[in-house]
Amino acid sequence: MNQEIAAPGTSVHQFTVPLSATRRGARLARLLAIEQLRSWELPLDPARLIVAELAANAAVHGRVPGRSFRLSLTVTAHGVLRIEVTDARGESLPTHPDASSEPAESGYGLLLVEELADRWGVRGGPVPAKTVWAELDLAR
């Protein structure tokens, strides 16, 4: 686990941990996020729900045998909590869900992220990875 304070002006708190790309790793991501948010004295919700969904997606849809995923939490000096989950399946990019259409068997999770986060998106790279991120404005 890596916990450090970044350069002045960029972040106040930062936490990063690699986890196994399994359902157990996804559960651990949620539990570690809860403990980290508590230690920073930040509200648990909706961040823990977003972490749970993004970590579950990394374990199910972003899984590459033998490769882990990474959870990162950052609190910026501007009062934003940024949640990032990086997995090894960069070719499998999620898209912004269409709330007006019926999701298939899966797909409800990103609708949840869409509703709970102030902003979210996907960043490709470095090859072969991708990062799905969500931001919460803490001052709301």
Largest pairwise CA distance in the chain: 45
Q: Give the containing element (helix H, strand E) for 74.
A: strand 68-75
Instruction: Copy the structure tokens of residue 108.
Output: 């409800």
Strand 13-20 vs strand 2-4: parallel, antiparallel, or unpaired? Answer: antiparallel
| Structure tokens belonging to residue 84 | 């990032």
Selection from 73, 61, 91 nearest residue 136 by Cα: 73
Flag the least confident range among 9-23, 89-103, 110-124, 125-139.
89-103
Non-local (6+) Cβ contacts of 108 within 8 A are none
Terminus-to-terminus CA distance in the chain, angstroms? Answer: 29
Give the mean pLDDT of the chain.
86
- Tell me, what's the pLDDT at 40? 97
> For 18-74, how does the pLDDT look when each residue is reduced to its tens digit (9 = 90+)?
999 999 999 999 999 999 999 999 999 999 999 999 999 999 988 877 789 999 999
Please give the model's pTM, rounded to 2 decimal places. Answer: 0.86
Percent of the chain with pLDDT over 90: 65
pLDDT at 1 over 80: no
